[in-house]
Amino acid sequence: MDISNVRALVTGGASGMGRTFVEQLRAAGAQVHTCDVSEDALKDVAEATGCSFTVCDVSDEDAVARLFAEAEAAMGHVDVLVNNAGILRDGLLLKKDRETGELKALSTDKWRKVLDVNLTGPFLCMRAFAMQAVEKNLDHAVAIQMSSVSRAGNMGQSNYSAAKAALAADTVVWAKELGRYNVRVAAIAPGFIATPMVASMKPEVLAKVVKPVPLGRLGEPEEIWQAVKFIVECDYFNGRVLEVDGGLRI
């Protein structure tokens, strides 16, 4: 696909990697519609890039329907979906207080919220995207799922690892199901990336995160953008997870 002619929808585009994707797509000449839960942050990215936007919680089915309706109204159709929106609610499955011996378990609320946003959200967006692409008989369309190195199983991330592993598996399923309609589906599995969320970590925690990375540093959002660009432009990349993690293995 010629990235300058792309009409892209980026979820979670108001900050972090999502904002980088919006900025780089716009710089390449693409039309972009984005969404996030913060209207103020969306207004800021829209002012900076000229993209259109919708305030949307991707785990809400009605909100996703509105998102795609507004994206189509703004751009005519969507031929690139970047399923980037996600949250963290980390915690050990079970933790014992060293002083009191009290046991504390990962809450059901934390489990469900992460699965709702990080797995159900991409499913809802993917379903809407596929419906629109097939109904409009698009010649080319591609959806990019944002998985994670944590899909292999990262301590303290039962919920997040489960969602990202399932998303990687669904990438294969959807690629098999939608190829007949000229819809490609791929995924990216970033390692630890220098986003505001990661930068807010305590220095000693951040040092532990970086230590096992063979390259000895965090990745940059622009390096994940290069993976997005490759997938959009390479029409034969399909049904695979592209790992961009500095060689990290969990």
- Looking at every residue in the chain, the average pLDDT score rounds to 96
Calpha distance 121→186 (Å, rounded): 16
**Given this model, what pLDDT does residue 196 score?**
80
**Given this model, what pLDDT does residue 186 score?**
98
Asked about 236 being catalytic, the answer comes back as no
Calpha distance 200→223 (Å, rounded): 20
Q: What's the rounded mean pLDDT across residues 96-125? A: 96
| Intra-chain end-to-end CA distance of the chain, in Å | 34
Amino acid at 133: A
Q: Indicate whether 134 pLDDT > 80.
A: yes
Question: 221: which residues sit within 8 A by CB, 6+ positions away?
Answer: 16, 17, 19, 20, 193, 194, 195
Calpha distance 89→144 (Å, rounded): 23
Q: Encoding tokens for residue 198?
A: 């990661």
Q: Indicate whether 202 pLDDT > 80.
A: no
Amino acid at 185: V
| Residue whose entry in the numeric block shows the structure tokens 């695979």 | 240
Calpha distance 111→230 (Å, rounded): 33
Q: What's the rounded mean pLDDT across residues 111-131? A: 98
Q: Indicate whether 200 pLDDT > 80.
A: no
Q: What's the rounded mean pLDDT across residues 92-106? A: 94
CA atoms within 13 Å, Cβ hemisphere of 68? 23
| Residue whose entry in the numeric block shows the structure tokens 């799922």 | 145
Q: What is the CA radius of gyration of the chain?
A: 18
Point out the catalytic residue in the list 160, 174, 192, 225: 160
> In this structure, what DSSP letter does residue 155 have?
T
Q: Indicate whether 172 pLDDT > 80.
A: yes
Q: Encoding tokens for residue 150?
A: 């944590």
Q: Which CATH superfamily is domain 3-244 in?
A: NAD(P)-binding Rossmann-like Domain (3.40.50.720)
The 10 Å Cβ neighbour count of residue 125 is 26
Give the CA distances from residue 218 to residues 120, 152, 184, 231, in Å, rounded to whole numbers and listed in that order: 28, 18, 29, 22
3-state helix, strand, coil in the chain (%, to 5): 50, 20, 30
Q: What's the rounded mean pLDDT across residues 63-79? A: 98
Q: Domain ranges in the chain? A: 3-244
| Residue whose entry in the numeric block shows the structure tokens 């791929």 | 186
**Given this model, what pLDDT does residue 40 score?**
97
